[in-house]
Structures are given as C-alpha cells and as structure tokens.
Amino acid sequence: MKAEIISVGTELLLGQLVDTNSVWLSQQLTSLGIDSHFKTTVGDNASNIEQVMALATQRADIIIATGGLGPTQDDITKETLAKTLGLELVYDEALAETIKEKFAIRNIEMSQNNYRQAYYPKGAVVLDQFPGTAPGLYLNHDNTHYFLLPGVPYEMKAIFESSVITKLREIAPIEEQIYTEIVKVWGIPESDVAEKIAKIDDDLAEIGNPKLSYLASGINGISVRISAKSQNEENALSLIKPYQDEIEALLKPYIFGHNSDTMEEYILSLCKKNDFKIACAEWFTAGMMASRLMAYGKTLEVFTGGAIKRGPFKREYLTEIQNELGSDVVLAVTEHPSEKTTVWECQLHILLNDQYFSKMIQIPRHQKEEAMAFAVINCFNFLKNQLQTVEE
C-alpha cells in the first residue's frame, strides 16, 4: 500500500504559510506503517489540482488531500476530484442540517455559501465529528482510497484522529511498522549531545536497524530519536531498548522526558510527586510561563496562579506571592537592565519553600516571542535541576 499526500493552497506555493499539515500527516502515516513516496503542493487552480489528483491516482493506493474544503469560491478540491474521476457532485440534505446546527449553537446565522460545504462527489462518505464547518470526506473509487480533509490544522487533526486512523487500519493492515522512542533533553548544545553518543551513532549506522537521528526544536528541547522497523511493537522496543538505556545513561542530567513529553509536564509531575504547589512571577515572559502550565491542563490543582509585574524582584516579593497564592514553589523571570544591544539579560529566580536560588541568562536579541519562550524553558529547567537535587 502506497500513500500520497496532496496539499492544496496557493498561499503554500507563495511561501506565505508553512505546510505543517503534511508534516503531521507524514508522521501519522509513518507510525501506521504506510509508505508514502511523494508529497505534492498545488495552488487553488482547477486544472493543476486535476493533474495532481490524476497522477496520484495512477501511482498510489491511498490519497490524502488537505485544504480547499472551505465555503468560498476558491475552495475547489471536492469539485476537482469529482471531475478527475468522472463523478457527479451530490447534495447531502442531512449534512447541510448538521452544518446549520453548528452555526445555530454559536448563535450565528449560516450564510448561503456554507451550503456549498454539503456537496461531495457521489459515493463519498462524510467522516464523523468535524469540529469546524468543513466536513472531511472518504471515497473509495476503483480501489483507490481518497481522504479529503480541511486545511485548518486543528480541524484536520481532529478528523484524522477520530475517523481516518481507523479507516486506514482497515485499508492497510499493519505488516511492518516503524516504532520510535524519543529521549528529550535540554541544557546541552546539540553538537555536545552528538559527541557524547557518537559511538552508538557509528554502531547503529552500521547495523541499520534501529536508526538514530536528532531533531533540535529550539525552545522545545532536543529530541534524540531511536527508530526500529518491525512487525510488532514488542520486538521493535526490544531492538531499541539496549541503545536507549545506553543513551539515557550518557545524557542523564539533561533528560526531561520521552516522546511527546514537554518540560512543563515534567515540572508539574515533579511538583505533584513532592506535593508542591507552584506559582509564577513574571515580567520578561509576562505570563507565558504560567500559560504553559495552564495549557498542559491536567494538573490544575498544582498550579495556583501568578503575577505579571515589572521587576526587579527581591526575595521578599517572591515570599509575598508564595503566601498570597498559597504555593510552595515560586518561579520567576525578570529582565535585567543592561546596556548590551545584542542580548537580553534575564534573571531566573526560584523560591522553593524557604530556599532561594537565582541565576542570570543571556538570550540573543532577535524575535521577542522566541526569546520569551527560551527564557521559559530555561526557567523550567532551572527548577527541574533544583527539584532533582532535593530528591537526591
């Protein structure tokens, strides 16, 4: 079974938008053990979309297209697929009602345009549970399987997760699949990570399975990925494990998680384990640290709140926050006044019960939002190191 991904949207060809959808879809196909050999981006142009659809139909069994399902005139993916396959477009009364209800819930009157969204190529089925107004579609035509998904990333992902995965498992039962374990680290440059595990890297390059790769995602840490191809997970993990153990031993002080773990999740779990409640005081990051803790969403009882206030912060101020918000830990970031024009200087503070820690970091003066995110992960990492010291 071969799959092919098609991204539809002129803005993608103009470079006005990064196509994160196709990256995410590629990852999903990989983890489902489905090979994909081509990925094509095409603009909102009927004859070009037709050309791409026809070619994909020739060479793939599964075709996943994103984008062009909206209510406007330039949304033509469904029409074009219908034309490519010589199918007529049909109107689905029940679907129109479902879309209408979505507007009713939000107390918005539905416009005439949205009725366009209730048409699809004859034979297609509407995929359950679409969070926006654009339904995802599945069509089996001459044993080629077409999935049409909306271009808005969270809508696309929701439909993929609730409907497409199950369908793909039916179509392409898993034979060999790639399983990946990721070790996530922070507080060490990527080149030093590579140097520390160079021997394992060389060994694996010769063995071929499992494989080793790195991905430095900046503010989300460095991912060391060990991937094995196998018929089942148990076998894959047994191939991965000895190397993972060795890598973890070499990188131990820098590890904050595995796979999709985030630094904030790790911090929150450490706090929970120690029965610590946590609050924030921020200026340079102005609430970004707190909002990361909130966005994780699962340990609300651990996070008690925060203050966004111009610094500098003295220890006494952190004690005030500690008392006011009923927390054991206060994490704080302030900007340090500096005459340097190439870096921001930030002070990180931790009040952990009655212990106080503080350190300065420098962040290259580029984009402010990136710099704030960099300060956040560094502050979390600073707490991680202190909490681990407490544990030892």
CB closer to its own copies, 139 vs 351: 351
CB closer to its own copies, 30 vs 123: 30
Q: Give yes or no for residue 334 binding its own copies (CB under 8 A).
A: no
Q: Give yes or no for residue 280 binding its own copies (CB under 8 A).
A: yes
Q: Give the integer Cα–Cα distance in Å for 263 and 186.
A: 9
Q: Give the integer Cα–Cα distance in Å for 36 and 178.
A: 13
CB closer to its own copies, 90 vs 205: 205
CB closer to its own copies, 206 vs 391: 206
CB closer to its own copies, 70 vs 121: 70
For residue 177, the SS3 value is strand
Least distance in angstroms from the C-beta of 263 to its own copies: 14
Is the peptide bond preceding residue 71 cis, with omega within 30 degrees of 0? no
**Tokens at 60, concatenated:** 């793939």
Q: Which of residues 298-327 bind its own copies (CB under 8 A)?
A: 303-310, 325
Residue 234: partners with Cβ closer than 8 Å, 6 or more residues away:
none
CB closer to its own copies, 123 vs 305: 305
String marking each residue 111-130 x if it binds its own copies according to CB under 8 A: xxxx----------------
Give the one residue of 60, 69, 152, 172 binding its own copies; rule: CB under 8 A: 152
Q: Give yes or no for residue 295 binding its own copies (CB under 8 A).
A: yes
Window contacting its own copies (CB under 8 A); options: 82-90, 105-113, 168-176, 380-388: 105-113
Least distance in angstroms from the C-beta of 131 to its own copies: 6
Q: Give the integer Cα–Cα distance in Å for 117 and 155.
A: 14
CB closer to its own copies, 169 vs 199: 199
Give the one residue of 1, 89, 174, 194 binding its own copies; rule: CB under 8 A: 194
String marking each residue 254-273 x if it binds its own copies according to CB under 8 A: --------------------
Query: What region does 15 belong to: left with phi over 0, alpha with psi -120 to 50, or beta?
Result: left
Strand duo 211-216 + 222-230: pairing: antiparallel
Torsion sign, CA atoms 275, 296, 252, 328: negative
Count, residues in the chain: 392
Least distance in angstroms from the C-beta of 341 to its own copies: 14
Q: Which of residues 366-385 bind its own copies (CB under 8 A)?
A: 366-370, 372
CB closer to its own copies, 139 vs 372: 372
**Tokens at 128, concatenated:** 């359950």
Count of residues near its own copies by CB under 8 A:
105
Q: Which of residues 196-255 bind its own copies (CB under 8 A)?
A: 198, 201-202, 205, 212-218, 225
Window contacting its own copies (CB under 8 A); options: 6-14, 76-84, 120-128, 166-174: 6-14
Instruction: Judge whether 331 and 307 are in contact, CB under 8 Å.
Output: no
Q: Which of residues 83-102 bind its own copies (CB under 8 A)?
A: none
CB closer to its own copies, 114 vs 123: 114
CB closer to its own copies, 87 vs 220: 220
Give the one residue of 46, 54, 72, 388 binding its own copies; rule: CB under 8 A: 72
- DSSP string for residues in 107-157: T-PPPGGGGGGGEEETT-EEPS--SSSS--EEEEETTEEEEEE-SSHHHHH
Least distance in angstroms from the C-beta of 391 to its own copies: 26
For residue 39, the SS3 value is strand
For residue 228, the SS3 value is strand
Q: Which of residues 7-66 bind its own copies (CB under 8 A)?
A: 10-20, 22-30, 36-45, 48, 52, 55
Residue 149: partners with Cβ closer than 8 Å, 6 or more residues away:
64, 65, 66, 69, 136, 155, 156, 159, 160, 164
Give the one residue of 140, 274, 353, 362 binding its own copies; rule: CB under 8 A: 362
Instruction: Judge whether 40 and 56 are in contact, CB under 8 Å.
Output: yes
List, in sequence order, the alpha helices (H) in the chain. Answer: 10-13, 20-31, 46-59, 77-85, 93-105, 153-159, 165-171, 190-196, 198-207, 233-251, 263-273, 288-296, 315-325, 368-391
